Each structure stands twice: as C-alpha cells, then as structure tokens.
Amino acid sequence: MAGEQLRWDGQTVVVTGAGGGLGRAYAIFFGSRGANVVVNDLGGSFKGDGRGSTTMAEQVVQEIKKAGGSAVANYDDVVNGDRIIKTAIDSFGRIDVLINNAGILRDISFKNMKDQDWDLIMKVHVEGAYKCAKAAWPYFRKQKYGRVISTASAAGLFGSFGQTNYSAAKLALVGFTETLAKEGLKYNILCNTIAPIAASRMTATVMPKEVLDNLRPDWVVPIVAVLTHQSNTTETGGIFEAGAGHVAKLRWERSKGALLRADDTFTPGALLAKWSDIEDFTNPQHPTGPNDFMELLERAQKLPPNPKAQELDFKGKVAVVTGGGAGLGRAYCLTLAKYGATVVVNDLADPQPVVEEIKKMGGKAVGVKCSAEDGEKVVAAAIDNFGRIDILINNAGILRDKSFHNMDDKMFKQVMDVHLRGTYKATKAAWPYFLKQKYGRVINTTSTSGIYGNFGQANYAAAKCGILGFGRALAREGKKYNIFVNTIAPNAGTAMTATIMPEEMVRAFKPDHVVPVVLIMASDKMPGEPTGRLFESGSGWAGETRWQRSGGAQFPIDVELTPETVKTVWDQKIANFDDGKADHPDDPNAGTEKIMANMSNTSKGGDNSSSSSGETDYNKAIEEAKKAKAEGTEFTYDERDVILYNLGLGSQRTELDLVFEGADNFHVLPTFGVIPQFSAQAPYSLSDIVPNFSMNMLLHGEQYLEIRSFPIPTEATLVASPYLVEVTDKGKAACVVSGSITKDKATGKELFYNESTTFIRGSGGFGGAKNGKDRGAASRTHTPPKRNPDKVVETPTSPDLAAIYRLSGDRNPLHIDPEFAKVGGFNEPILHGLCSFGIAGKAVLQTFGQYKNIKVRFAGTVVPGQTLQTEMWKEGNLVIFQVKVKETGKLAISGAGAELVDGGKAKFVAPDIWNCILEDTVDPMRDRSQPAPIEHQDEQTFDFIIIGGGTAVSVLPARLSHSLPQHSILLLVEAGLYRRSEKLISTPGLSAKLLGNPSYDWNFSTVTSARTVWTGSGVSKREKELELWERLGNEGWGWEGVKGYLRRFQTVREVPAGREGKGLRVVSPPSADGGNDGPIQASLP
C-alpha cells in the first residue's frame, strides 16, 4: 500500500525547458506538492531556431498559481544557467532540485550534417546542463543538499540513425551525471539520469497520435519525483528508462574477457584465437569503475608466451591516426605500419619522429601537424598523398582535470572540443570517401571515466561518453555501406595519464597492450557483429561492455501513477537485476520495447505492478478466444478500389486490363484477397491473449491466401469474419495465427480465406504451446530446388509506391513518415510487406497462370525505389518462389509457394481484337459475336505473333486457334526473349498504327539487319530458321509498351535463362486441306 504523500514544501525546484511536454508536467507536479518552482523556457521551437511562444513559461506559472502553488518564470537560454539559478535565489532564497530537461532536435543523416547542426545540439543539451549544474553546485554544497536530474534518451543509450549529434549529446549527459554523482555524494547531492519516452513538442513530430496518447509525460514524473525527494538517500549515479507505465534501471555489464601474457607475443592474431573469451558474459562484472588492471597485469605476466597465430594484413590500406605522435597513437601507428598499412600520423605536437620511425621500418607514412578539430586537413593529407582513406582511429585528447566546484567554462569547453568535436570533425571529413569506397573502419576512443564517471573529470567524462553515443549512432548509418564504427576504452600509461597515475603504473601499463584489440577492430576479421560495439582493454586483457536492464515495473495505464506507488516497488522490481527478468538491450527498438509493450497493460489484466490480482491465465484466454465467433464486417469496393490496388502494386498505364475499367479483360489481381480482412472486427483482443501486447512490437511474419471462387468480382460487397487459429509461445515472443473467411454478401459464396501469422516481441513466456499444428498449405514452407530459377521477373518499384499502396487500407506511418520510420529503427520509410507479396503474386500469375492459393514468409524489408526480383521454380502443379532486393541481394520474401489452378493451364477469354487488325488480315469468316478462346499451352510455345502487310503491323496472341491469311508476313517471337536488349520484330522501315489506335503511334528507324521470311503467297517449306537482330527506333512506346498491351492476354512470359538471342524454329503446319495456312506454332530449337 502506498505510504504518506511525498512533498517538497519549502524547497525550490528549477525545471529547464518547462514550457511544454515533460518540463511542464514536472513544473505543475512539483508546484502541486508544495515546491517553489522556477519555470524556465526560452520559448523557441523544438528545433532551436528561436521561433515559438515567449509566453509558454508564463502560462505554466499561471497554471501553478491558480492551483494554489508558487512559481516564477525565467526566459533565459540554458547556456546562461547562472541567470536561471539566480532567478531561484532571488525569488525563493535557495535551490534544492535541478531538472535539466531543455532540449532540441536537429535530426539529419551524418553525410548531410553541418557543423551548425552539431554545435547547436551540444550547446543546448550538454553545455546548457553543465552551466545550470555549475551555477547550482555552490548552493548545493553549502546547504549539503541537492538533487540533479539529467535527461538522456534511448537514442543516446543505444545510438539512433540520423541522430549522431543528439545521440552524442544524450550519452554525454550520462557520463557527466555519473561524475557529478561521485563528487556530490559526500555533500548529499544525488544525481541521476532519466531516459524518458513521452509526448512532447519534439516527439510529436516522430510519433503517431495513438502512440502519443499513451505516452503522457505524467508517466515519467513519478519516477523523477522519487529520485528527487529527500527520502531518497542512496539512489545516485543511476540510469532509468520510463514511459507509458514502465520503469526500469540500467547499468553497465562487463564480460569476463580474454587475458593473455602481456609481452611481444600479445598480437592481434593471438587475441583473435581467444576472442570467444571477450564475448563471454557468463560471469560478468557490473562495475562502477575500471577493471583492476594491476591485478590483471600480475596474472598476465604469469601466463606462458602466447602461441603464434596467423596475423592481420593491412597491405593496401591507408590509416589515419589522430594524436599519433606519442603514447597510444604512436603504438597504433607503428603496429599498423608493421602489418603493411600506409599511415597518416596526426598530432598537435610534432608527428615527424613517428613518421621517421615508420620509414626506417620500411613503411610509408606522412605527418600532419594540426588539431584533430581540423579534420579536413588531416583527411586531406591521406587523399593528397595516397588517394584514399580506409581506417580512422580517433585517438587525440587532452586532460583538464578539476573538481566540478573548481572547474571553469574554459576547461569544460577545451576538453569537449578536442575529444568530442575533434572526433566528429575528423570522421565527418573522412565520411564522403568511406561512402564512395563503400568501405571504412572507424575506431573511436572513450574512457572508463566516460563509461562510469570519475571524480574530478566531469568535462572528460561528458566528452568520452559522448564519443560512445556518437559512435553507436554512426555505426547504424554506416553499416549498409560497409563502414564499421567501434569504440575502445583503453587503459595505458601515456603522457596524458601521467598527470593522474603514479609513475610505476604509467610504466607498467604499456600502450602496446591495448593495440591488438584496436587493430582487430580496424580489420575485416573481427568475429561476431562487426560494428557498434564497446571494448575495454589494457594489461594483456580485453573485454566487452554492454547495458543490462532490470525487468522493471509495469503499471496499468488506466490507473493514475503516483510517486508513492512507484516507491513501493523500487527495490523489488525497478532496481532488481536478480529476479531473472533482466535483459541486454542494444538498439533503440530494444530500448523502448518494454515501454511500448506496456501500452496494453490495464487494471483488468496484464502485469499490474501495483496490485495483487495475480497473473492472467493466457492459455485459458486463448482457448476462449478460439471459440469466439465474429459477427462479420462488410467490405464494399468498386472498380476505383481495384484500380488503386493494382496501381499500388506498380501496374503501369499501359496495362489496361489492370488500370482501365473499360478494358475488355479488366480484372483484379488475386492478391487483392488480403485487403478485406484488415478492416474486419475480430471477436477477440490481442491484449487479452498475450502478455505485454503492443502494436509497435508486432511483426507480420507470414501470409496465406486461398482464392475459393473464380472469377474475382471487380466490384462487390463482401463480409469478412476473422477468428483465432492458434497462439504459440516462442519464449521472448508470441506467434499468433489469425484466420479470416471472406464471403460475397449477395451470394453467400466463400471468395477468400486468409491466414496471417504475426510475431509479437516481448509477449512470450506465458507457458503456451511451443509449436503450431500442421495446417497444410497454410503452414507449409517451400524450399527452392537446387537449380537456377526457371523464370525471373524483375519489377522496379517507384519511390512513391508505398504512398499509393497505403491508400488500399494499411496507413501505418512507418511506410510514409521518415521520422516515424526512424523511431521504428529504419533509415527511411519501408514498403509494405503485402505490397511485395502482391508484386510477387502478379509475377507468378503472369508467368504461370492463375493459382488457387499462395503462401509467403516475410524475410526482409524493401525500400520504395528498389527493384524486386521474383525467382520462380515450377514443380508440377506448384510454383515455388522467393523475392530478392536486386540492389542488396537480400531476401524480402522466402519459403513461398503458389498452387496453380489445373496445373497452370487456365483458360482466359481474349478480347475481340480482330476488329483492330489492319489492312487485309481480317478473317471475314469468324463469328465476331463470340470471344476467341486462348489456352495456355506448353512452355515452349511462343506467346504472340507480329503480323505485317505492307506498311501495317498488328499483334495477335499466338494461342488463337485460327488460320491466318497466307499473304501476310508471319513472324513469331516469345514475349521477353529480347527484353534485356530492348529489341522487337519488325520489317525494314516500318511505320504503323498499333491495333488501329492513333494514340499507339510507333515510328521505327530503318532496320538493316532483319531477315523477313514467308512473304508472298506461297510457303513451300514447313520449317525455317530465323535469326533475329532488330533495332528499336528512338521514338514510340518501346518494348515496355508492347509488353503492357500483351499482358491483356495473360501470355507474357520470361525467356528461360540462357536462351537470350538464340534462333527460333518457326513451323507452319499444313491446314486440313493440305495447304500451308494452318495454325502457326513455334518452339525453341
């Protein structure tokens, strides 16, 4: 039961950025609990461009006062922190709590980032927090009481694409606050960091309304309240994530690591042989400071020499090392040169002695004397002298150690500029070359002081932790370009550390003992995940460091959360890492998944940390949901919806049967069958059948569609009835299979049956069945044969395709809003999985004919504008297929199959094209009141005929079972045979109107290499060899236009691999009376 209400009577709380969002919620809360509140807000926009309301802070003040509270407004920029604190002292005589909340966003990809984007973020987030804390510190020390909250984010903790500046700043605040916690403890100044996710002016630009509604700032306030209350006497230096009723604590976790003898045999090759020890977290440490390197060195020296191993080879690589004139940098330079690299040695002092050492070794090197902040000059030396840059080791640094109380602004800025801004500048200069080469290796240098904080190093800790945040974000941007970014926290005796280490330790901790792990990071040989990692090393030891997160507490979102409730579960849940629920988040999605997962947690079920109602029996709920019957949801569509869907799959204007309702063969593509189910109301709720459900954690894994009635109407009212098929427990996730039967309302006939398989992350572990039942075709996974595909269809997607497809019903902002896509962990909006499904289904249909069912597994994402390759294998009545992204070679759809109707020999009805044939090729005997039947025949049969007479040309399906006039030019070509070379059959100098339609005007340049066969009125030979070399003119439709028209007959097929450009054997079999005017046939020789 919650205890006595927490209050701040007589205390003064300063909140920066309090005009809206979280800051406003903090201010109003503390005002309601007796505190005097200084409401600081500059009134600018969330982008920091100065636009905004200057009355925001005053409005919050008036709201507090109307409720009976005490508050004053302050409009200063946070870099003028002394003025903000002065407002508190002048108005209320003291300051007790400082909440550094002010922030802005300047999201932009690293390649497009300008120095202004970087500097403004650092100014507001880091410098502003430093200036406010620095101004408040003397008062805290004097009164021996203070509480500080710094605001980080998931972007800072894990790195976020397009936010290298923001990620760096937010993690810099972690190192800064950890140091303040250590310095302030003896003065009862407790300092903690919060990583909130809450609706604000910033997040409103990147999250949809339905998510923002559950991310009210009210969910974060109670955690901050507990941390800042005087009853908190022990919790300091902590890092907490909070939002939507979820609260958890994070701490660092260090692996056991690999320990080798620290002598000349400690090489990169020797360390690679023991790499598994580096990744071994079976007996981890949870440190608040560096490893015991003296003890490690003593143990290392007792080990035998390290066995010889195959060493790294850097021949042909150009490496740039900042701060390379001494210490660690010198060791890196010499060892890189030893292993074959060409080295650019940068140092603010003289780099030339190291350059000469390398040259004496027989290596290549140049020196660049300048600050690392002059990154353009450093990188230019590599390009000017060696034409490229492959490796960048950001090692330059300085120390300006001083207790926070005695630190001045110059000391803080100097360290931030050299370490963090210097790392940014050098990397920014190298980035365009890395992108162009599609290769780069970046090693950034942090410190245990940055990771864990260290007394007297608030500036250094902020800069070094900021470097880690920068590197993690950059790793996400660089990965797809083969640019890997990793971070090292070295322990070595150098000129810099000589100012803080005893002389004997400086001599013992040789820089050489750090080099092996750094060179492995600079190579192509690092095992496991190649980018975004953090290692610590020294004294012959190397280990990996990562986050550990407690299972935390999950509070129901339909019950107001209070600080008193949070306090009751603090030790048992929030700060408990030993209850078996802790995990290791390593990306922004993992960082926020528990927050998102808690959005469905209500007082009626789920994990209610504030009640004792017991756990939900999800297995029972699943069985009850299976029995539930849907009422059925109507879905009405017409020709417009059909056309919109077809266009959403990339159909072209020339494919009239898909985009023109007046076309004779206008039809809907069969994969349209997935659309009605998505608006249907299910008779159960996902939040009732799996724990921790959140839409944000849901992944569409598989889709099965069965077409139960042909033809599919182009307009109708349907009724879709969903039901639950099964739910399986995959440990960390739940797998839910939902079925849906769709009927024609008018006839009651079943038209479609769907099964959708979704994986819901964070919703497993409820004790359900591990494996699902065999459901025949719906659950089958198809393995492609071990041969080249029988057919491959390439489909370029338009950059605007997702914007069109979403209008068919799936309006998830993930597919259209770049900012929301970033929140989802994607670099840019991605194509709907069911759009790729539809494109593949279209390829199967147009290649092999109609199918009665189709099943796919979604294997990867597609970016609109990429090209999809549908690879198909025909195995009897089954078409096995998969879809690859041409640009990346990665699978978008795997394990897919479609079962053909009657083996693919489905009958189609041809439009009455005889009315369109020009000149004297019309068959006057045909009954035009009846359509001409077309039957799909053997794959070796060609698909259409080009018929020419004089200057006229017409196109007919080769399947038409009619005799053609003798005196026409008869040429056969397989659709797609000349697709890759853009060629078409024609006669010399041909100019004609296609099918009698003036809008289809073809103008061909003179064809000189064509051979015309079977001209005249008599053909005595039954077989002729025809070699085709044709050239399409500069004007007209071109080959894509021809194919677009021919698709009306459902006869376009790809040429078999390897048959391009081969001769055709043309056969004119005899007619019934023995003449040569029988039906035309053709086959590949």
List residues with catalytic annotation. 166, 170, 460
Q: Which amino acid type is present at position 224?
A: V
Distance, in Å, from the CA atom of 17 to the CA atom of 11, rounded to the nearest integer, reads 20
Between the two ends of the chain, the Cα-to-Cα distance in Å is 87
Q: How many CB atoms lie within 10 A of CB 340?
A: 15
User: How far lies 935's CA from each of 61, 669, 946, 959, 1051, in Å?
Assistant: 79, 19, 19, 6, 9
Of 205, 236, 204, 234, the C-alpha closest to 217 is 204
User: How far lies 811's CA from each of 408, 600, 820, 1025, in Å?
Assistant: 52, 21, 12, 55
Distance, in Å, from the CA atom of 777 to the CA atom of 856, rounded to the nearest integer, reads 11
Residues 321 and 333: beta-carbon distance below 8 Å? yes
Residues 715 and 637: beta-carbon distance below 8 Å? yes
Is residue 621 helix, strand or coil?
helix
Distance, in Å, from the CA atom of 557 to the CA atom of 500, rounded to the nearest integer, reads 50
User: How far lies 933's CA from each of 411, 664, 821, 930, 958, in Å?
Assistant: 87, 14, 49, 9, 11
Residues 53 and 43: beta-carbon distance below 8 Å? yes
Of 755, 728, 734, the C-alpha closest to 855 is 755
Is residue 422 helix, strand or coil?
helix
User: For residue 739, what are its two tokens?
Assistant: 């079925």
Q: Bridge partners of 909?
A: 933
Distance, in Å, from the CA atom of 362 to the CA atom of 356, rounded to the nearest integer, reads 10
Burial of 1038 (0-12, 13-18, 19+ CB in 10 A): middle
Is residue 71 helix, strand or coil?
strand
Residues 280 and 256: beta-carbon distance below 8 Å? yes
Angle between helices 221-228 and 21-32 (to 10 degrees): 50
Burial of 1078 (0-12, 13-18, 19+ CB in 10 A): middle
User: How far lies 673's CA from each of 614, 676, 706, 708, 753, in Å?
Assistant: 42, 7, 8, 10, 8
> In sequence order, what are the residues at sequence separation of 6 or more whose Cβ sits closer than 8 angstroms to the Cβ of residue 271?
258, 260, 278, 516, 517, 520, 542
Q: Which residues of 722-744 are buried (b: 16+ CB within 10 A; e: fewer)?
A: bbbbbbbbbeebbbbbbbbbbbb
Strands 440-445 vs 483-490: parallel, antiparallel or unpaired:
parallel
Whether the bond between 711 and the residue before it is cis, its omega within 30 degrees of 0, is yes
> In sequence order, what are the residues at sequence separation of 6 or more whose Cβ sits closer than 8 angstroms to the Cβ of residue 147?
96, 97, 98, 189, 190, 191, 227, 228, 229, 232
Of 783, 880, 780, the C-alpha closest to 840 is 880
Burial of 711 (0-12, 13-18, 19+ CB in 10 A): exposed
Q: Bridge partners of 554?
A: 246
Residues listed for the chain: 1085
Residues 519 and 264: beta-carbon distance below 8 Å? no
